[in-house]
Amino acid sequence: MHKHHSALGLAKAPNGNSDVAAIVEQRPVQPVTLLRPHAAKRAARFFAEKFPGKSLYAVKANPSPDLLKVLWDAGVTHYDVASLGEVRLVAETLPGATLCFMHPVKAEEAIAEAYFTYGVKTFSLDTVEELEKILRATKGATDLNLLVRLRVSSDHSKLSLASKFGAEPHEVKPLLMAARQASDALGLCFHVGSQAMSPAAYGEAMGRVRDAIVEAAVTVDIVDVGGGFPSWYPGMEPPALEAYFDVIYRAFEELPISYSAELWCEPGRALCAEYASVLVRVEKRRGDELYINDGAYGALFDAAHIGWRYPVKLIREEESNAREMPFSFYGPTCDDLDHMAGPFELPADVQAGDYIEVGMLGAYGCAMRTGFNGFGVEDKVIVGDEPMASLYGGFAERERRSNVVKL
């Protein structure tokens, strides 16, 4: 792992004896992942301070051990794990972390190892069959936190998570009653979808939670509003995160639950999107198409397969004065599917040999790299500059002011 002050420093190939200089003097042939631990730390502190409950980092968004340690040091102590692999990873990286197995469909062997080897006590479920599986795997344990997942709408979100998991309204009452009998703490959870663009998503889902509690007439100890908290991307500029927190808190306060009930959330994208970007090189230009050295089988999976638009910036020693125009990208593999339609707005004079920073790839981008077609080798460099966009700017400024020592 190398360190540098900015993406521009890499492209300029500065003189020096450091490992970074040795890489950039050759001008990077492979994509370079630029890591900003300070941005992830800032996001974690924001949630720890402002969300009116407990925040569980959704590990699937970016399982990097380095990132997990940054979040831990910033106050995130609970982790939403969705597989045995993630259970093992977080337990080995952060032995003191509390793990919550929030995938509603799990292998019985995975449940058993999570419980008996790693001390996992929290599990989600959306069917009676999954409840029975959990009880068999844990040998009838009586110290479980069992969270019943409700199916809710994803209408306010850019990516739906409404079709695969979640109990239907007619299934909820018997499931809650059965889970209440089997659990030490009973919870309800949901997921409004990824990149929720309106706080109303959570308000409407909490209405479903209220209906479920009233109909089943059970005591609920945990309400988990899941993930979906957004980040900033071109064409996807969400409201301030505080607006989401306000809606969630007001709805939580109106639920028929005990005063000691806990409120949880599972941010993934919102904690790690600003953590990383990728520096790519243009290998060829064909009209408004740029052939770059990363793509659909690397960090740009979402850009290719679901049309996600990321912020982009031309990195040159001398700033371009050309007007901007829309481009699409082709990745480095021989596959026609390795295509990112964009549009990505860049100066019209971009050409082969130029470098482009693609921002906000800390969420999912870094996690989904493959080695397909022999591509995928990359370098990682820690940089100290700011991410290309941020929802935490005001919070960062306030923290900087609070750290100033006055004599």
What pLDDT, in 10s, does the model give residues 249-290? 999 999 999 889 999 999 999 999 999 999 999 999 999 999
Q: What is the pLDDT of residue 109?
A: 97
- Res. 246: pLDDT tops 90: yes
334 a catalytic residue:
yes
What's the count of helices (H) and strands (E) in the chain, helices before strands? 13, 19
Query: pTM higher than 0.85, yes or no?
Result: yes
Nearest of 359, 23, 38 to residue 10 by alpha carbon: 23
**pLDDT tens readout for residues 133-172:** 999 999 999 999 999 999 988 888 887 777 788 899 899 9
* Whole-angstrom distance, CA of residue 11 vs CA of residue 353: 10
Structure confidence at residue 184 (pLDDT): 96
Determine the average pLDDT of the residues in 56-64: 96
Residues of the chain with pLDDT > 90, as a percent, come to 74
Structure tokens at 115: 């419980």
Each residue's pLDDT tens digit, 87-111: 999 999 999 999 999 999 999 999 9
Mean pLDDT of 354-371: 90
Decide if 262 contacts 223 (C-beta within 8 A).
yes
User: What confidence score (pLDDT) does residue 214 get?
Assistant: 95
Residue 343, H or E segment? strand 339-347
Whether residue 370 contacts residue 297, with contact meaning beta carbons closer than 8 Å, is answered with yes
Domains in the chain, ordered, with CATH?
2-36+274-383 (2.40.37.10), 102-267 (3.20.20.10)
pLDDT for 22: 39
pLDDT tens column, 299-332: 999 999 999 999 999 988 788 899 999 999 999 9
Q: Using CA atoms, how far apart are residues 352 and 291, in angstroms rounded to an integer?
A: 8
* Per-residue pLDDT band at 190 (split at 50, 70, 90): very high
pLDDT of residue 16: 31
Residue 389 clears pLDDT 60, i.e. is over it: yes
Q: What is the pLDDT of residue 351?
A: 94
Helices (H), 228-285: 241-253, 269-272
pLDDT in the model for residue 17: 26
Query: Which pLDDT score, from 0 to 100, does residue 385 have?
Result: 86
pLDDT bin (cut points 50, 70, 90) of residue 2 is low
What is d(CA 117, CA 166) in angstroms, rounded to the nearest whole number?
28
Amino acid at 234: P
Mean pLDDT of 107-116: 98
Per-residue model confidence (pLDDT) at position 3: 56
Answer whether 274's CB lies under 8 Å from 43's CB.
yes
The SS3 of residue 157 is strand
Distance CA 43, CA 135 (A): 36
First to last CA, the chain: 38
Q: What is the pLDDT of residue 21?
A: 29
Q: Report CA torsion sign: 304, 309, 314, 320.
A: positive
Per-residue model confidence (pLDDT) at position 398: 55
Q: What percent of the chain has pLDDT over 70?
A: 90
In sequence order, what are the residues at sequence separation of 6 or more whose Cβ sits closer than 8 angstroms to the Cβ of residue 388?
Answer: 277, 311, 313, 357, 359, 360
Residue 114 pLDDT more than 60? yes
With residue 38 as reference, give the H or E element that holds it.
helix 37-50
Task: Output the six-digit token pair for 308.
Answer: 């996600």
**370 close to 298: Cβ distance less than 8 angstroms:** yes
Q: Which range among 17-31, 40-54, 134-148, 314-328 shows the weakest confidence by mean pLDDT?
A: 17-31
- pLDDT score of 13 more than 50: no
Instruction: Provide the residue type at 136 as one letter.
Output: R
Least confident of 2-6, 232-236, 284-288: 2-6
Q: Which two tokens stand for residue 32?
A: 């370079």
Count other Cβ atoms within 10 Å, centred on residue 163: 8
pLDDT at residue 26, rounded to an integer: 55
Long-range contacts of 65-71 (CB under 8 A, 24+ apart): 65/89, 65/93, 66/1, 66/35, 66/37, 67/37, 67/40, 67/272, 67/275, 67/362, 68/93, 68/94, 69/93, 69/94, 70/37, 70/40, 70/41, 70/44, 70/275, 71/40, 71/41, 71/44, 71/271
Q: Give which of 36, 365, 70 is closest to 233, Cα–Cα.
A: 365
Residue 123 has pLDDT above 50, yes or no: yes
Res. 10: pLDDT tops 60: no
Task: Reply yes or no on whether the pLDDT at 354 is more than 60.
Answer: yes
Q: Which of 100, 189, 272, 334 is catalytic?
A: 334
Residue 188 pairs with which residues in a beta bridge?
148, 223
Pick the range with the lowest mean pLDDT from 126-130, 225-229, 350-354, 395-399: 395-399
